[in-house]
Amino acid sequence: MKNLREHYFDLAKKSGRRVAMGVGDDFELQNKCLETIRKAEKKGIKNILIIGKNLEHIKRELPWVELEENENPEEYMITLLKQGKIQGAVRGSLSAKKTVLSIKKIYKISSLLRFGPIDASRERTFMLGPLGIDEGLTFDEKTKLIKCMIQVSENLGLKPRIALMSLGRNEDVGRNKIVDKSIKDVVRLVEYADQNGIGNFICDSEILLENLDKLGANCILAPTGYIGNIMYRCLVHLGCGRSYGGYICGLPDAFIDTSRGGSVEEYLTAIAMAMSGV
């Protein structure tokens, strides 16, 4: 999948959706928000609502930008999203814990599953998931992630091809019980996909990630969320990869989860992702 970031920007300019971004109280975080909004405007991306607690600094610097203050900005933003008053939301630098609790409360769900685009290099982007250490541990969670990856890819005008990753080669069965289970999980997922008419969207990559181009894969389903999290950290924090936030799987509305310490580029692309929809 090439140039996905620019694809998001193209879709965002045409979408007309109203998207909110959360911003924390810290002065440095608010400056990051200011830079994000300025860059978005230069790219022709508008209709952004800023939500936070104390926004005087942003009001002074960007008096024309729409702002809303609330004592509980995390819950307020998710409420607006659920009510359809905004068509997308980006966590930005709001509290992760409070945002997750608000999503669970307002959407009445018990757990979250996340996946998102990662630039492994300037010319290669993959959707990777699950990303949370307690996610993707059950068969049902894995099938839900597969369906979400297919839906988001198709909504972006892309043909999904999901590599189902295990912890070894298929010929390695019998060497390690944990590896054996991951291989059996993939076999079961392939059977499920074939039975449910989505077999063309998936492939068994085994542990051979070096074969993804040959397989034509543009999404990776890691064996578990903690493995997906390790892959993410190795690519983004130790390698040359870049991340732009993650989709919350299964929500009817576009919410993009970002890191509090994320870069301006992450926030900017997350806004474009939210404007592109789910």
pLDDT digits (tens, 9 = 90+) for 110-142: 889 999 999 887 677 899 999 988 999 999 999
The average pLDDT across 265-273 equals 94
- Counting every residue written for the chain, the total comes to 278
Predicted confidence at residue 31, as pLDDT, reads 93
Please report the pLDDT score of residue 26 as a whole number.
86
Dihedral class, residue 119 (left if φ above 0, else alpha if ψ from -120 to 50, else beta): beta
| Residue percentage of the chain with pLDDT more than 70 | 99
Whether the per-residue pLDDT at 66 is higher than 70: the answer is yes
**What value does the mean pLDDT take over residues 38-59?**
94
88 near 254, Cβ under 8 Å? yes
**Residue 263 pLDDT level (bands cut at 50, 70, 90):** confident
Rounded Cα distance, 19 and 77, in Å: 10
Walk me through the domains of the chain, giving residue ranges and CATH numbers: 1-112+249-278 (3.40.50.10950), 117-242 (3.40.50.10750)
Residue-wise pLDDT tens digits, 147-164:
999 999 999 889 999 999
Tell me the pLDDT tens digit for each residue of 228-261. Answer: 999 998 998 888 888 888 999 988 999 999 987 7
The rounded distance, in Å, linking the Cα atoms of 264 and 272 is: 13
How high does pLDDT run on average in the chain? Answer: 93
Entry pTM: 0.88
pLDDT of residue 176: 95
Place 146 in a pLDDT band, splitting at 50, 70 and 90: very high
pLDDT(23) > 70: yes
pLDDT at 122: 61
- CA dist 65 and 92 (Å) reads 16
Q: Could you read off the pLDDT of 213-223 as tens digits, one per residue?
A: 999 999 999 99
Predicted confidence at residue 2, as pLDDT, reads 55
Report the DSSP beta bridge partners of residue 69: 52
**3-state secondary structure string across the chain:** CCCHHHHHHHHHHHHCCCEEEECCCCHHHHHHHHHHHHHHHHCCCCCEEEEECCCHHHHHHCCCCEEEECCCHHHHHHHHHHHCCCCEEECCCCCHHHHHHHHHHHHCCCCCCEEEEEEEECCEEEEEECCCCCCCCCHHHHHHHHHHHHHHHHHCCCCCCEEEECCCCHHHCCCCHHHHHHHHHHHHHHHHHHHCCCHHHEEEEECCHHHHHHHCCCEEECCCHHHHHHHHHHHHHHCCCEECCEEECCCCCEEEECCCCCCHHHHHHHHHHHHHCC
Evaluate if residue 5 carries a pLDDT over 60.
yes
